[in-house]
Structure 1
Amino acid sequence: MMADIDYGYLKDDDGQRFYPITNYEVLTNKPDLSGFAKKSEIKTNSADLANKFSNLKTDKAIYNPNDVVTFNLTLNQSIAKVLVTKFKNEHNLGSEVVYGYGNNFEYQWQVNGDDNAQYLVKFSNLDGNGNVVFSDFIAVNVNSNPGVFPIMGFLSKYNNYDPNGQQKIIDYLNRLHINYVQYYDWFEYHDIPLYTGDRNQPSAYWTDFANRPTRLDVIQKYLELCHERNMKSMAYGLMYGASTNQNQNGWNESSFLYNSPTSSPNPGNVAVNPLPHPMFKNDIYILNFLSDDVKPKIFSAWQKVFNALPFDGWHIDTLGDFGTKYIYNSGSVDSNFLANVGYKYFVMNARNYFGSGKQLGVNAVATYGYDAVASQDVNYLYSEQWDFEAKSYDDLLQKIKQMRSNRNDIGLIIPAYMHKNKNWWNTNNQFNTDGVKLANDVIIAGGASHLEMGEHMLSREYFPNSDISMSQDLIDYLPKQYDFMVAYHRELSIKNPTDYFVMNTHKNSKNYVNTSMFTAIENSDQWITSVSIINTNGLNGNDWQDANADRKLPEPVYNEQAKFNSKFSHVYCATIENPDPIELSQDQWGNFTIPEIKNYTLVWGVR
């Protein structure tokens, strides 16, 4: 056995590619060593490495235990020597040096059988002396059940068949580890989402609810691209929306809820959510979703969708609290009954109808009906947040903490729209990167994920609205923030508030957001105490929507002295910008130094 040999790479026939040979014994034909390139021939000088590498990505958004993860990156040099290091929380799982040649670098890693496991993988360019010149990171999410840690994106435009353009959109969502995709307003009518005809074949073209051209092949291509990346494709549609208040489409007088007592046909009294015309085809009329006659008709319409298109499930939207309503030729149903009984039994009946093979999620708008939905067999939790209920950063945090208390087995998605009410007249319609960062920080620290990305970033509840653009800085930053959220899901998902952490130099709040000091959000279980430190020290505003798009991150601090008022065998920290875990040395009193608090620093102690 030749353990140490300088011939590590085999040239192919045209001499343009090198293949790694890790053990001479595997060469069964014992070729002439002149066919090999010496390692000394591989130039990895710092000048070349100054070009770094780019486009680090994985082939899927989420993996099952024992899957093979394929990493790709673009090399901006002829030959590279790359150190690959894997972390699971604070544990370094080991490193290996891999050589790459040409522009496209591929590396594969088979994860073990652990479920609900998240990893951070570091790729470092090395120079000829083995010194790290540049590093980049990416997270890996392993979970056989995506609802345990749901990260949702959206799609909203289906008029242009452009496979390359569509792939770029899905590739960016994949880079954010998005494992659920909501197909917003893909349908024609809420109560007849898809016309399939006698042969159960959908039309090739239609106009959507807002009269926008929609193509079947665009939707089919997105479904294909998402499934290739293990993303769940969720067909969006209202729980109880009808396109008419007349006796048609299978509806009759008893099918609707009414604004006042009604015992004879009176379409004008049907409860309605008015919409602007001619933009939308119709107003939304409210079906009596309590009725055992109405629900099977709704479910049957959605079963036709699932028969025709391979959606993974139904993302059920609602319109929030619309007050007391009346059942035809019967009595009133108040707001609480509609939510606590109506939502509960609708979801229960939907699950019984569709079975476990379809994913179900419900938007409990501003938490209306949230408890009823959370009590049922949904695959994830979801609640659209509005500034009339949660206006400040702390309002948002406390709402998230409250909602997460319902379930331990599935995660929470928060749709929340940045700069929603800003008047952009004569201004640059661009998201304020600092404002987006801070809103995401609070949502992540609360243990939820933010629905914000699709073909564009959301700023309105009408998802196709794309009048605000993203800076390149924000486009580049989001993957780092999502990597951090995924890699440290273990620490961020703990939800038992404690009060051990204290900063010695600066003041910090304790489990609430205070814009006059640093915010520390702390949770503990029997093994770990984790603290999310968000830099809100002198923040110039307190509304999470950043209504004026002028939020500015406070100045960072360095070498902050801190301690836990509890004993830990080890203390670690990581940041979004430098996510690899570092251990912090403790003195005899438990004091330690946090190197940097720039935007978001995670500190955790291990017992």
Structure 2
Amino acid sequence: MKNFKLKYVQPFKIIFVVLLMVSCDSDDAAIDSNTEIQSPSLSYNEVLNLSKDKAKYNAGEDVNFKVNAVHPNTIIRYKHLGETILEEPLTSTSWSWTPPMDDFKGYMVELVKNTNGDETVLGTVGIDVSSDWTKFPRYGFLSNFGNISDAERNSVLENLKNFHINGLQFYDWHYKHHMPLPIDTNGNAENSWVDLFNREVKLETVDGYINKGHELNMASMFYNLMFGAWHPEEGDGFSDEWLLYNDQLHNNINAHDLGDFGDILVTNPANQEWQNYIFSKTKNVYQNLNFDGWHLDQLGNRGNVYEYGGYQVNLPNAYQDFMMAVTEAFPNKKHVLNAVEQYGQNKILSTPVNFAYSEVWDRVQYADLVEVIMENNQMSNNQLNTVLAAYMNYESSEGSFNTPSVLLTDAVIFAFGGAHLELGEHMLSREYFPYNNLSMDAELKNRLMEYYDFMVAYENLLRDGGSFTLPNVSSSDLGVNNWPPVFGNASVVSKKVEGREVFQMLNFNGVSTLSWRDNAKTQTKPNASQDFEITIASTMPVSKVWFASPDYKGGASQELEFENNQGQITVKVPYLEYWSMLVFEN
């Protein structure tokens, strides 16, 4: 939920202090690159529409695939991090595969047609084998719980499954913040209610989404503030002594103004009576709906606030207290708390939350998004992955999302190991999730699916630990620099991951802005480059180099020839549009 714009600064690793010191904050016209090998975009379209049946898989669980046709001389190639582990001919439009039993592994499945020795990629899909979805969270949302049929619900979830969304935030599904699920006089859940904006919510719809999601291995998290009371009435059992106040004499309640709809009253998260009260209401939720956990929200910096007795409350400390208590009360459920503009994040990530979630407002540059991810890595001792709530094309109110701004933002987030909350019944552009004025065109939907396939297939390089380094990189064909971005160049960052050096190339050659949100939808496509040479100094013996890009052949990996001149590795990169990856192995 949008905050009162606090600029939160947190120290982080020395390596990224160096990376960010040279950040380019200018939005002046882009500098033209002098590369001579710019080429049109090599658009890739799946020929066989390869799909699988679930969002993720447990170890030992079969993966069921479908295609729309069978082409002769086509093989199915199963890969893990560029290495083929199995090949078999494509003989049917549906088949099954049992991945290795290893937990928390990503795979790329490629359909490759051989024509006189030339290979053509006809389809690709990523596979995530993970027993716990929060290890590699790919978070989506739902925001409409009215009279929606089974067929409509299934269509929404099938689409999100194809994007590998493994966790769903049920936004504004509840009745009142302090009484999320209305209970009748017999102790049973009501069949329907209205949310705070008077939209109808049906128990059958919420329950149906949860159950269908579970069939697709998608977890369901119910949204609610950790400290909100909405129109408390006599009989609710609510006490004003649980509230936060703007003064020491408890005359002025701290509240979140919703205009004509009234105020959300803010409670003290550290008040044990409030905790016991809201936990009892949460228990009612779990007794009636099979939610997997609670997505908790806050409201950012509230200024100086006081409890009923007049003592000042340190909200980040109160968040910590509440999160420790809620995980103790519901040890078998998942929990995540939104850090609005990183407010209180250090305290939040010191508790047993299952992943880091940051709603980004004042950090407007691509480098700022990376800064948030790196802060979360450090605060969690590199134990938790990050989901960013970062709303694209925010000030636009009609038409389609701007494809270049969405793809480049996701390229940056994914390349640094994060995920982006953006997909639900529609694509997200505002903090009020039901807002649906912008649409995804066919190009964006198709290309974004390749990005999610890529994030899943190579999750063990992108999101599974490792340490970032500053690469020594040069090219006579293309302007290159270390991260952060510079107009006209490709920015390169490297990471060491279990005996590999992984290089992410993010292309800012030809873009019009370094601001990720792109309010006016003016971001331009980067200039694509093909078959360019790049030289990178390696700190290890290199025996193999391979390449993959979500912008090229569906993310299929290919091994590259290279020259090694005393640790200087020179390689010809097949393609760079938005984002490409090189991997050195010893």
The residue number in structure 1 matching 2:556 is 580
Q: Is this contact kept in 2: 1:503–1:560, CA < 8 A?
A: no
Aligned residue for 1:67?
Answer: 61
Instruction: Evaluate the alpha carbon distance shift between residue 472 and residue 322 of structure 1 in structure 2; reply closer, same or farther with a 3 A threshold.
Output: same
Aligned partner of 1:532 among 476, 489, 504? 504
Is 1:187 paired with 2:163? no
Question: CA shift at 1:409, angstroms?
Answer: 3.0
Cα–Cα, structure 1 residues 603 and 304, in superposed 2: closer, same or farther, change >3 Å? same
**Structure 1 residue corresponding to 2:321, chosen from 342, 345, 356:** 345
What residue in structure 2 maps to residue 603 of structure 1? Answer: 582
1:42 corresponding residue in structure 2: none
State the match for 1:504 in structure 2.
475
Alpha-carbon distance in 1 for matches of 2:246, 2:305 = 5
Q: 1:500 to 1:329 in 2, by over 3 A?
A: closer
After superposition, where does 1:512-551 map in structure 2 within 5 Å? 512-551=484-523
- Taking only the aligned residue pairs, the percentage that are identical comes to 30
Q: Please say if residues 235 and 313 of structure 1, whose CA atoms lie closer than 8 Å, have aligned partners that are also in contact.
A: yes
- 2:475–2:535: 8 Å Cα contact kept in structure 1? yes
C-alpha distance in 2, partners of 1:164/1:121? Answer: 29
Q: Which residue of 1 aligns with 2:101?
A: 113
Which structure 2 residues correspond to residues 176-325 of structure 1 after superposition, within 5 A?
A: 176-244=163-231, 249-262=236-249, 266=251, 269-277=252-260, 280=261, 282-325=262-305
**How far does the alpha carbon of each residue in 1:126-154 deviate from its partner, in whole angstroms, 9 at most, with x for none?**
67x79756510000001111111100000
Letter in 1 for 2:255: V
**Measured at CA, do residues 532 and 131 of structure 1 come closer, stay the same or move farther in structure 2, by a change above 3 Å?**
closer
Please give the TM-score of this superposition, normalised by the length of structure 1: 0.84
Deviation at 1:80, TM superposition (A): 5.8
CA contact (8 A) 1:116 1:143 kept: yes
1:380 and 2:355 correspond: yes
Is contact 1:501–1:562 with CA below 8 Å preserved after alignment?
A: no
CA displacement 1:403-439 (0-9 Å, x = unmatched): 12233333111111001123x4xxx521001110011
52-61 or 160-169, larger mean C-alpha shift:
52-61
Counterparts of residues 555-566 of structure 1 (less than 5 Å): 555-566=527-538
**1:482 corresponding residue in structure 2:** 452
Q: Report whether the alignment pairs 1:394 with 2:394.
A: no
Contact 2:247 2:310 in 1 (8 A): no
**Correspondence 1:458 to 2:428:** yes
Identify which of 64, 80, 83 aligns with 2:75: 83
- Whether 1:570 and 2:544 are equivalent positions in the alignment is yes
Q: Which amino acid aligns with 1:379?
A: N
Matched residue, 1:593: 572
Show the counterpart of 2:19. none
Distance in 2, matches of 1:87 and 1:52, equals 18
Deviates more, 1:322-331 or 1:296-305: 322-331
| In structure 2, C-alpha distance between the alignment counterparts of 1:168 and 1:445, rounded to whole Å | 30
Q: Is the 8 A contact 1:61 1:229 kept in 2?
A: yes
Unmatched runs of 5 consecutive residues or more in structure 1: 1-50
**SS of the residue 1:394 aligns to:** helix
Instruction: For 1:142 and 1:400, locate their aligned partners in 2 and report how far apart those are by CA, in whole Å.
Output: 24
The reply on whether 1:141 has 2:113 as its aligned counterpart is: no
The letter for the 2-side match of 1:402 is: E
Separation in structure 2 between the aligned mates of residue 583 and residue 503 of structure 1, nearest angstrom: 21
Describe the SS at the equivalent of 2:399. Answer: coil
**2:427 aligns to what SS in structure 1?**
coil
Q: Which residue of 2 aligns with 1:8?
A: none
Q: What's 1:369 paired with?
A: 344
- RMSD, aligned CA: 1.9
CA–CA distance in 2 between the matches of 1:134 and 1:562? 25
Closer, same or farther: CA 139–467 of 1 in aligned 2, 3 Å: same
How many Å apart are 1:509 and its aligned residue? 2.3
Deviation at 1:71, TM superposition (A): 0.8
User: 1:418 and 2:392 equivalent?
Assistant: yes
1:378 shift after superposition: 1.1
1:244-296 per-residue CA deviation (whole Å, 9 max, x = no partner) reads: 36766222231100011125xx4xx110000022xx4x411001111111111
Q: How many Å apart are 1:564 and its aligned residue?
A: 2.2
Structure 1 distance, partners of 2:358, 2:350, is 14
Query: Across the two proteins, how many residue pairs are aligned to each other?
Result: 532
**Structure showing greater Rg:** 1
**For the residues of structure 2 that align with 1:373 and 1:249, how far apart are their CA atoms?**
29
Q: 2:50 aligns with which of 38, 51, 56?
A: 56
Give the deviation of 1:516 after TM superposition. Answer: 3.1
* Paired amino acid for 1:107: W
Matching residue's letter, 2:66: N
Note the C-alpha offset of 1:572.
1.1
Could you say if the C-alpha distance between residues 247 and 521 of structure 1 is closer, same or farther in structure 2, counting changes exceeding 3 Å?
farther
